[in-house]
Amino acid sequence: MEVLAVLSVCLLVCLCNSASPYLRDQLERPPTFCHGLDCPRFKVLKSVKGEYEVREYSASQWVSTNSAGIDFAEASQTNFRRLYNYISGKNSAGKKIKMTAPVIIKIIPGPGPACESNFTMSFYVVKDNPPTPTDSKVFLQGFPSFRAYVRSFGGYDMESIKPWLKEADKLRNFLNGTYSYNTDYYYTAGYDSPFKILHRHNEVWFIAE
């Protein structure tokens, strides 16, 4: 009986090992809202339907740039143009880099409605050793693993900051003191091309402390 038990365990280990590449592939596939683009990997720790998710993100690398100003749309256009130039070949290798998702913006709000806010836009980078930006206003940065409280929502008119603020307020109310997160800044995340009109996927992230 002991021999049979040992053989059974060995067979089970072999089956698990042979299946593991498939299982790993299933676990590592990006979510459907990434639309086949490379995305940062995360685990969903908790999901409250229609309200928010708690996600654990793996360490990742990003290419970023920032602008200060009052106009969210103007800062976004400036920052996007710099990053798009980087992936279009304005880098030390002179090579094009595939677009990824999401486009995230770290927003540090100004002290008042007529005061400048700081907007840092980032594209996710897949390569371990990405080429260096040649634009001095563009830089590479690593994100350590982090936990985020995420609210997802649809909508197209994202050039104004108002829809993002509205959803950030909703997320704040849903969390309602349940979790501790950094209140000095928050992130917006967009997953869709500007040419896509319907069924868009947008997110607001609060970063856990």
pLDDT tens, residue order, the chain (209 aa)? 443 343 333 333 333 343 334 333 434 568 999 999 999 999 999 999 999 999 999 999 999 999 999 999 999 999 999 999 999 999 999 999 999 999 999 999 998 878 899 999 999 999 889 999 999 999 999 999 999 999 999 998 778 999 999 999 999 999 998 999 999 999 999 999 988 889 999 999 999 99
Query: What pLDDT is stored for residue 10 in this prediction?
Result: 39
* Largest pairwise CA distance in the chain: 79
141 CB-near residues (< 8 Å, 6+ apart): 61, 62, 63, 64, 122
Angstrom CA distances, 205 to 5, 9, 33, 82, stand at 49, 44, 16, 23
Q: Residue 73: how many CA atoms within 13 Å on its side-chain side?
A: 6
Specify which residues 117 forms β-bridges with.
69
Q: What is the DSSP letter of 136?
A: T
Q: How far out from the chain centre does Cα 116 lie?
A: 24
Neighbours of 135 (CB within 10 A): 13
Please give the single-letter amino acid code of residue 66.
Answer: N
User: Model-level pTM?
Assistant: 0.85
Query: What pLDDT is stored for residue 175 in this prediction?
Result: 96
Angstrom CA distances, 151 to 55, 98, 115, 132, stand at 11, 27, 26, 33
Query: What pLDDT is stored for residue 180 in this prediction?
Result: 96
Angstrom CA distances, 67 to 43, 49, 107, 116, stand at 31, 35, 10, 10
Distance CA 144, CA 99 (A): 22
Contact 45, 92 (CB under 8 A): no
Strand, coil or helix: 128 = coil
Please give the single-letter amino acid code of residue 77.
Answer: Q
